[in-house]
Amino acid sequence: MNTSTERIKYIDGLRGLASLMVIFSHLVLGFYPILHSLNLNVLNEKNFIIKTIATTPINLIYSGFVAVYLFFLITGYLIGYNYFRIKNNNQITSSAFRRYFRLTIPTFFSCLIAYLLLKTNLFFNVDAAILTNSHWLERFYRFEPDFINMLRFSFYDVYFNYNNHNSYNNVLWIMSFELLGAMLIYSILSIFGKNSKRYIIYSVFIFICIRSLYLCFIIGLLLSDLNNSFNQNKAMVINNKFTLFVLFAGGIYLSSIKNFEFKLYQILNLSWLSSFFGNFLITFYNIIGVALILYVLSRSRVFQGFCENKAILFLGKISFASYLLHFLIICSFSCFTFTYLNDLQISYSVIIPIILVSTLSITIFVSYFFYEYIEKT
């Protein structure tokens, strides 16, 4: 039996959409930060369109954190999916051993690129931040590049000692979660994967991780196990189109929560939940939302067909590369282009579409070659 990792096309497509969400999120943070504002008073001073985008599920288009939760869920889901196909512990051991290298080699090359850009003074994010009033954009690359520190950061700090102030690539904050979360799932499956009582184990880990991002990995594993059970017991499958639509709509709604002060979400600001989750409550809702979306996608051919579109599948193929590279492109090319066009006194409303289209185009182009010659090899 083939024990290699099996690709699920619609999951690849979903990953591609999530990578776009992250890119849009960082473009908005850098060049139109008002859309990320959680201050209702500030938003009330803006026009109807801006307020509507920022305070409704439309904001999901540029919700970077939600995309990351989706990445984590997918990791748990795919590890579980490939295990339950064959239930081979040797595959678990092999995959766990390769995990560090599969993450680290592309990560290192992204940091090497960042080091070279910083060394040659090709980051312009601080200059652009003054013009866009982005406090987020001005924080990065304010340290002196050091090759040895870059090596240590790429191979160790990024997983076990991450510090945003001297990060060579700000998006790498997720790597410790990706590595340790995957190891958690591998461990659970190697010990309990063949145990008929494993759902009790899942419940225990859900309770332990209920206020941390590791919850995403456990829920992803649970969904993959449930789908495996559904495939064996057709009576358990939810195939009603209306029910799936309601679950999907609920997932979109929960995923898009940013602030309970926004009118559409006030009903979910429950005191008994707030007392337990504290500041993690919105994140918890977001995680449940993306879990519902992933579940519906796994059961609906309509949504699967959308995610299996060739263009979306291509984005999925290069999703890790584009995730690693887009931030470097924004802080270098995009910020330089913005300051240059601004010096020419071109209208802000003209500059923003130019930045959006050019950044996406270059990110996709560069990511393809990064995928072909670094990630894939």
**Quick check: 244 and 238 in contact, CB under 8 A?**
yes
Which pair of tokens denotes residue 299?
Answer: 């059961």
**pLDDT confidence of residue 92:** 87
Q: How far from 89 is each of 18, 182, 191, CA to CA, in Å? A: 30, 15, 9
Q: Residue 371: name the closest of 321, 325, 327 by CA.
A: 321
Report, as ranges of residue numbers, the positions in the chain whose pLDDT lies below 70: 1-6, 230-238
Residue recorded with tokens 């894939």: 376
What are the sequence ranges of the domains in the chain? 9-375
**pLDDT confidence of residue 232:** 55
> Kind and range of the H or E element at 54?
helix 48-55
**pLDDT confidence of residue 4:** 40
Distance CA 167, CA 303 (A): 37
| Residue partners of 226: CB distance under 8 A and separation at least 6 | none
**pLDDT confidence of residue 230:** 65
**pLDDT confidence of residue 140:** 97
Maximal C-alpha separation, the chain: 68
**Quick check: 244 and 296 in contact, CB under 8 A?**
yes
DSSP secondary structure, 92-142, as one string = HHHHHHHHHHHHHHHHHHHHHHHHHHHHTT---HHHHHHHHT-TTGGGSS-
Length of the chain: 377
**Quick check: 163 and 157 in contact, CB under 8 A?**
yes
**Quick check: 177 and 159 in contact, CB under 8 A?**
no
Computed on alpha carbons and rounded to an integer, the radius of gyration of the chain in Å comes to 21
